[in-house]
Homo-oligomer: A and B are copies of this chain.
Amino acid sequence: MQQVTGGVTAPAGFQAAGIHCGVKAGAQTEKDLAMILSAQECSAAATYTMNRVKAAPIYVTMEHLENGSAWGVIVNSGNANACAPMGQENAKAMCEYAAEATGRDASDFVVASTGVIGQTLNIAAIKKGMPALAQALSPDGADAAASAIMTTDTVKKECAVTCDIGGKTVTIGAMAKGSGMIHPNMGTMLCFVTTDCAIMPDVLTEALHEVVPRTFNRVTVDGDTSTNDMCVVLANGMAGNEQIEWKDDKYSAFTAALCAVCEALARAIAADGEGASHLLTCCVHHARSEESAERLAMSVIGSPLVKSAMFGADANWGRVLCAMGYSKAPFRPEFVDVKFCSAAGEIPVCTMGTGLEFDEDAAKRILSEREIIIDINLNEGGQAAVCWGCDLTYDYVKINGDYRT
């Protein structure tokens, strides 16, 4: 497996585009409408938000993917089309306009929206922009598409890898958005993965369901889970590999590559959490089960007090233990070791549940790096889990204090 440049158009047979159509009120440079289109029919799989309040495009996409296939994706930013008047009609209309502009069927499209909740989608702007969007489709369009799905994101999120499957080079590309409202149970963001791998739809679904819980569902920015989130994979088979039909070695190779792509994007989303100044990685190891390791790591990475301490470069490990304590996962506090690590070194701060004397200046130096690892040894077993998040900063409050204006 090898990381390569590019995003959703890295695999063979995919084109993409992103333009400004007017859903976002801002300048022409603020892209707000993106399309991905394959040259051949794709096997398709998706995971969706667990929020009981689901945006209209989620339901439309679920319907369109019932047959396990799709040709493309149409997505807007600037408006979530959630709890909004005419939600279903407008989500369906987006697919119809995309179909007209590309000569496909409405049901060939995955549809997604991201942005403010509860306001009517400006479907007229989308209709008007659609021909230009289709016109702009290009094998070099990945960057434009990745830009067009950003909301409060500060950087585009793209990734691509290649891997060998049965002697053929298969490419997986992806783009994602999401900075606030990132929390487990479904990636709780938008992620579109493309690949030229030949793989059956149900096997693709299996792979995605193996990968998402270990990547996107292990990211938390603020504990809120959005109404709109989905992760979709389209596989057009144009790499020419023998089709993956069951859980053999080829399946394992594909799943490992898919996991690498999703992990890279999950980390990028955590690092770009709203207002974030630090990427936090919490690794809980020597646990009796992966499940409790994950629960403990998510509780630590989600604690506002831990997040605030990391913003202040304060080695306040007591808050780490406290967050473990209310996670409801079983563990023995009196066995726990805690270390803070970064590119500047590592510092043990707690052993067997009790504080260690440590050099505050050294701790400050370690916690001043951009990437911080909170390393927790439960000294209980052989399982582990890694979760990602970010610190809580003034800017988070600022960004979210008046998002709609």
Contacts and interface: CB of A to CB of B under 8 A. Distances in A.
Interface stretch (A103-111, A113-121, A191-199): A113-121
A304 interface: yes
Interface in A44-98: 50-54, 80, 82-85
Interface in A311-367: 311-312, 314, 316-319, 321-328, 330-331, 333, 350, 353-355
A215 interface: no
In the complex, the count of this chain's copies comes to 2
A236 interface: no
Nearest to A324: B53
Given A53-B321, A309-B403, A403-B309, A326 B398 contact: no
Interface residues on A, range: 35 or more
Interface stretch (A132-140, A155-163, A221-229): A221-229
A242 to B, nearest CB: 42
A224 B353 CA distance: 19
B404 A80 contact: no
Interface string A367-405: 000000000000000000000000011101111111111
Given A53-B325, A118-B317, 15 more contacts: A52-B330, A53-B333, A54-B325, A85-B355, A116-B316, A119-B355, A224-B323, A224-B326, A225-B325, A227-B321, A304-B396, A312-B400, A312-B402, A316-B404, A394-B398
